[in-house]
Structure 1
Amino acid sequence: MTALAVCLVLCAAITAATWILSLITNEHSWVDRIWSIAPIAYVWVFAASSGFDPRLVLMALLVTAWGARLTFNFARKGGYRPGGEDYRWAVLRERMPRLGFAAFNLFFISIYQNALILLITLPALTVAEAAGTPLGIWDVVLAVMFLGFLVGETIADEQQWRFHRWKATERAAGRTPTPGFLQSGLFAVSRHPNFFFEQAQWWTFYGFAIAATGAWLHWSIAGAVLLTLLFAGSTVFTESISRGRYADYDAYRSRVSAVVPWFPRATRAEASVTAGR
């Protein structure tokens, strides 16, 4: 079997397993639980099939570091424990008819997302097909960029982790946490910095296909494009929940960039004060 065939069989098995487990447990975060694990397997399959081409080994090591960090963060939040379902699925179940959500679970959560997990790793297939091209300065640049984005996501997740622990402590003490959502650190320049760094890593991963072939456009860019679209939808859905929970979330949205970190905008009130000086 070719490396792609092995990955397709593995993806089909994971897809079936996550869907069946969702039916058995009535939890719909099984794809979330393998999101940080399956890509490691896929990329190492391509690396092994190439005879451990240096560029593919570098890519596999970077994805392994990405997966280890993400798995740790997901585990400490209780994602692997029974009942560790993403809170957004429960909200979506309430908004959709039962049969509609069942179809959504099969076709989007299980099939589409598992296919996407494989797709984001397929720049490794492009690199495998160009195996033998020597490593160069652009591979070093891409590796440094990937690690920089990995550090950024680590910081964002750590800030979020500490904030939610503080919220839990406040509630345990009978106090209402104020503010109710994180607005400091990286979250002062992006409402979803972890989303930004996650996507940036996979766009950088695609860059290795460019470095290996010298061509800017390959069909394997589809994974990064579709991942960005997924996060765009996730951002809208997540913020619809936050806007319903926090009265001041719209003010936060008006001054802070949605995803790409950028300088905060002045609110209308602040702009009026500034103009009156």
Structure 2
Amino acid sequence: MPRTEHLLFIALISLIACCLIMTMVWLWAKKIKNAGVVDVFWALNFPVITLITFFLSDGFEPRKILICGMFLLAELRLGIHLWQRVIGHLDEEEGRYEQLRKEWGEKADRNFFVFFQFQAISNVILAVPFFIITANPSQAISSLEYIGAAVWVIAFFGEMIADRQLAAFKKDPSNKGKVCDTGLWYYSRHPNYFFEWLTWMAYFIFALASPWGVLAIISPAIILYLLTKVTGVPNNEEQNLRSKPVAYKKYQQTTSSFFPWGKKDGKGKM
């Protein structure tokens, strides 16, 4: 069984590191007046946690290498993708953060500091499956872990393909004002979010082979809630309805919001 005090120690070190990083990011965001950079470093905090946990955990080495490789690759890809999206308009703050800045007024800098620190805390909470897996001393990779790895491969490439399809669509000037409904976007209005959630489901499945692995359900549960109810789908839908109301409303009527599915007839029927 993994030692509770050792897991808590690794989590504490990870939390301190993430909070320090987010403090520095907040100082930068304050200087350039763009809080959107927090999204980039939220993703890049996970590789930091990966390295800390790899060197401090005392689980089975091959398992550590496998899960650390998966976690590192996925979050570096997401971080680089977000960086490429944000770095092109550092002088233009994303709409949701611009709105928060207006609502908070003179308290904006203080509130953003608290917000950035909460992002650091969420990094550590979401890394629970990772802490559990790397502490597993069993010297045999189980079938559940292989299944988790297989689901992760599907999720990793699915999200990467969805992001690239959308980027290619937006790059074509003839698509201005249109809705991307080709490729994976034909089956879901947010396939990138779906595959991001599926990545966390893969970690949960992988963790089920470890002691206390069932606790790892917290990560995909939080991610699903955030993506579908808080920051992901709601913000994106609102923005698209503002920019292309007619086309996007039609898209909503025929296409699944999150889970990839067949087309509806526009009246909610398959």
TM tier, smaller: 0.7 to 0.9
**Preserved contact between residue 7 and residue 42 of structure 1 (Cα < 8 Å):** yes
Deviation at 1:130, TM superposition (A): 2.8
Query: Which stretches of structure 1, 4 residues or more, deviate above 6 A after TM superposition?
Result: none
2:33 corresponds, among 17, 26, 30, to: 26
CA RMSD in angstroms comes to 2.6
What residue number does 2:3 align with?
Answer: none
Describe how 1:37-76 pairs up with structure 2 within 5 A. 37-51=44-58, 53-76=61-84
Question: 3-state SS of the aligned residue for 1:211?
Answer: coil
Tell me the distance in 2 between the aligned counterparts of 1:100 and 1:139: 47
What residue number does 2:261 align with?
Answer: 262
Per-residue Cα deviation, 1:73-128 (whole angstroms, up to 9, x for no partner): 2344353763364444235545x2425655652333x1222221222222122223
Describe how 1:1-277 pairs up with structure 2 within 5 A. 2-51=9-58, 53-79=61-87, 82-83=90-91, 85-94=93-102, 96-99=103-106, 101-102=108-109, 104-108=111-115, 110-167=116-173, 170=174, 177=175, 179-213=177-211, 217-218=214-215, 220-232=216-228, 233-234=230-231, 235-248=233-246, 249-268=248-267
Tell me the distance in 1 between the aligned counterparts of 2:223 and 2:148: 19
Per-residue Cα deviation, 1:38-86 (whole angstroms, up to 9, x for no partner): 1112123222223562222211100122123223323443537633644
What residue number does 1:275 align with?
Answer: none
Q: So what's the TM-score if we normalise by structure 2?
A: 0.84
Larger radius of gyration: 1
Q: 5+ unaligned residues in a row in structure 1: which ranges?
A: 171-176, 272-277
Q: So what's the TM-score if we normalise by structure 1?
A: 0.82
What residue number does 1:274 align with?
Answer: none
Letter in 1 for 2:254: R
Between stretches 241-250 and 81-90, larger displacement belongs to 81-90
**Preserved contact between residue 133 and residue 212 of structure 1 (Cα < 8 Å):** no
Letter in 2 for 1:73: H
Question: 3-state SS of the aligned residue for 1:217?
Answer: helix
Tell me the distance in 2 between the aligned counterparts of 1:115 and 1:80: 28
Distance 1:200 1:156, change over 3 A: same
Letter in 2 for 1:230: L
Letter in 1 for 2:214: L
Distance 1:155 1:263, change over 3 A: same
Distance 1:253 1:226, change over 3 A: same
Distance 1:13 1:230, change over 3 A: same
Deviation at 1:252, TM superposition (A): 1.0
Identity %: 20
Number of paired residues? 259
Tell me the distance in 2 between the aligned counterparts of 1:246 and 1:82: 24
Q: 5+ unaligned residues in a row in structure 2: which ranges?
A: 1-5
Letter in 2 for 1:144: A
Between stretches 154-163 and 221-230, larger displacement belongs to 221-230
**Preserved contact between residue 148 and residue 204 of structure 2 (Cα < 8 Å):** no
Tell me the distance in 1 between the aligned counterparts of 2:99 and 2:251: 22
Distance 1:237 1:72, change over 3 A: closer
Between stretches 238-247 and 185-194, larger displacement belongs to 238-247
**Preserved contact between residue 88 and residue 238 of structure 1 (Cα < 8 Å):** no
